[in-house]
Chain A
Amino acid sequence: MSGMAAPATPASGRRPGVVRGWIDLYLTMFRIAILNNIQYRVANYFYMIGMLAEPVIYLVVWSTIAREHGGEVGGFTPGAFAAYYIVWTLVRQMNIIFTPYGWEGRIRQGELSAMLLQPIFPIHFDIALLAGWKVVVIIMWLPIAAVLTLLFPPELSVTPIDVLVFAIAIWGAYLVRTMIYWILGMAAFWTTRTGPLFELVITAELLFSGRLVPLSLMPQWAQTVADLLPFKWTFGYPIEALIGHLPPAELFGGLAFQLLWIVIGAIGVRLVWSVAIRRFASVGN
């Protein structure tokens, strides 16, 4: 499988270098994604506002409970919840990956053929294109965050180290999630009815990632389960890296765990891919 090879470099003369090739590829994809998405601002805002409903609902529900219990629940005040769920909105945007549902189209309609013709492992297209989209999304997110901050005043004090770790962790989260859902999406090589499988995983993610509620509010057994799964490194950890005043061991240890899951995920992607691609057939695409 030549799939993992570096982007093509000119045959003649000095080879400009593998790294340079990758950087060029990624920068080009970024540009394409940014230009593509900047055209559809209304569609993007619809998408983002639709996504806002989820954290705002959680925030309102948990703030209501906190207020009804003398101002806090499980150590969280309404202001702390506000901080958690406002940061959540950015983490959620960063967490958008090529949806496993998209794999159905790729495989059923044969779209994958075009990707296979290119001398690059297809995951790079997804990572680069969605990363470029995120640049647009982050810019569009800023006014939303400002409005949310006015509506739900957060209690937030961060150190520069928190910000730094957060800035790395959101990209780590993006890669962990990309790996998980790529492996999952490849189930479409075997069956067209992948929906139930995805929903099961998405539900597990909802419950064990800190997406629904800060993990510390979950029952102890659920926290233990969450420790064994990759999901909390995609939601709970990045959020708490910024707002949670984590001790240094946890703050930096989290990045190591993310790296671990990215490596495990990448190995998983390669293994599943090598078996799955043999099942792929398409005509005239």
Chain B
Amino acid sequence: MAGASAPTPQARRRREPLRPLRLFWIYFRIGALNELQYRANLAVQVFQSLIALGTGLAVLGLVYSQTTTLGGWTHAELLAVMGVHILMSGPIGVLIQPNMERLMEDIRQGTLDFVLTKPEDAQTLISIREVRIWSTVDAIVGLSVLVFAVAQLQAGLGLVQALVFVAALLLGGLTIYCFWLIVTVGAFWVIRMDQIVELFTGLYQSGRWPVTIYPGWLRISLTYLVPIAFAVTVPAEALTSRLTPETLALAFGFAVVVFAFTRWWWRFGLKHYGGASA
């Protein structure tokens, strides 16, 4: 009768392809319940997002007080870029950054043991266990800016274009996640990685502007090294009728390759984890 016993956890996992999503949902609920205790933080977040929005608009206004187009992009088009930029900072703030910060901390303190001993895929767990729901305000603000910008665009927005935009956005989000994790895995070798947050926040600001305005070396770095181009410019190109099928295919191919690499890199880094009998 032993053969008919209950399936092993591994076998169960194989049969449940949506398991990461289910786990995410559980962690999301825990995170939400946690943050709902501090409701005043929502007001704080709204206020901060509005300040950031105001600053962004002021900068854009300043630039367009001196010119009518910047590298071929009009005011409305750059507003769309800004919308995508803020929108993308939503998932980064909700999920990616808090999880990576926690991972760095856990590696340094040896408390990653608690994740590794759980009968789930460790990469999935370290990517979803922290949720800061109030950062969704950024996504909402970004979306509002985007809607406003699209309404101003002369060409409007068709259904296909909208779908392509969503696809580009998802690919961009995946690429940004991979970038964060690749760099964070460095914490297995380098002890003090906390400045990486500053590094990313700084570099992410470059996405406020279409990467096409940057000089060649910087444009290539912001595309392949720090994939801001795929995260912000490509989706914005989809909205402003600039995106070619080749670029979209490139974004797709790059996302797949970088995801596979991230998976390998994470496992490679994990081998260097000593733990600390936490």
Binding site for B on A (CB under 8 A): 40, 42-44, 46-47, 49-54, 56-57, 60-61, 64-65, 68-69, 73-74, 151, 193, 195-196, 199-200, 203, 206-207, 212-213, 217-219
Main secondary structure of the interface of B (DSSP, over half): helix
Binding site for A on B (CB under 8 A): 40-41, 44, 47-48, 51-52, 54-55, 58-59, 62-63, 65-67, 69-71, 190, 192-196, 198-203, 205-206, 208-209, 213-215, 217-218
**A206 near B198: Cβ-Cβ < 8 Å:** no
Distance of A101 Cα from B215 Cα, bound (Å): 35
* Chain A hits for B217, CB < 8 A: 151
**A49 near B202: Cβ-Cβ < 8 Å:** yes
**A207 near B55: Cβ-Cβ < 8 Å:** yes
Closest to A60 in B: B214
Interface centre among B65, B202, B205 (most CB of A within 10 A): B202
**B208 near A57: Cβ-Cβ < 8 Å:** yes
A85 to chain B, nearest CB (A): 14
Task: Knowing A47-B195, A217-B62, say if A196 contacts B202 (CB, 8 Å).
Answer: no
B187 to chain A, nearest CB (A): 11
Task: Knowing A53-B202, A207-B55, say if A64 contacts B62 (CB, 8 Å).
Answer: no
Closest to B209 in A: A61
* Chain B hits for A213, CB < 8 A: 62
A11 to chain B, nearest CB (A): 41
Task: Knowing A51-B198, A65-B70, A69-B67, say if A43 contacts B213 (CB, 8 Å).
Answer: no
**A64 near B70: Cβ-Cβ < 8 Å:** yes
**A193 near B62: Cβ-Cβ < 8 Å:** no
Q: Which of B48, B67, B199, B214 makes the CB contact (< 8 A) with A65?
A: B67
Q: Which of B59, B69, B215 makes the CB contact (< 8 A) with A60?
A: B215
**A52 near B202: Cβ-Cβ < 8 Å:** yes
A203 to chain B, nearest CB (A): 5
Excluding A43-B193, A46-B196, A73-B66, 8 further A-B contacts by CB distance (< 8 Å) are: A42-B190, A42-B192, A43-B190, A43-B194, A46-B195, A52-B202, A68-B67, A68-B71
Closest to B69 in A: A68
* Chain B hits for A199, CB < 8 A: 47-48, 51-52
Q: Which of A53, A74, A219 makes the CB contact (< 8 A) with B205?
A: A53
B173 to chain A, nearest CB (A): 20
Task: Knowing A40-B192, A207-B58, A213-B62, say if A196 contacts B215 (CB, 8 Å).
Answer: no
**B203 near A50: Cβ-Cβ < 8 Å:** yes
Task: Knowing A43-B192, A196-B44, say if A53 contacts B203 (CB, 8 Å).
Answer: yes
Distance of A213 Cα from B61 Cα, bound (Å): 13
* Chain B hits for A60, CB < 8 A: 209, 213-215, 218
**21 A-B residue pairings within 8 Å (CB atoms):** A40-B192, A43-B194, A43-B195, A44-B195, A47-B195, A47-B198, A49-B199, A50-B198, A50-B199, A57-B206, A61-B209, A65-B63, A65-B67, A73-B67, A151-B215, A193-B40, A196-B47, A196-B51, A199-B47, A203-B55, A207-B58
**A46 near B70: Cβ-Cβ < 8 Å:** no
Task: Knowing A47-B198, A52-B202, say if A64 contacts B213 (CB, 8 Å).
Answer: yes
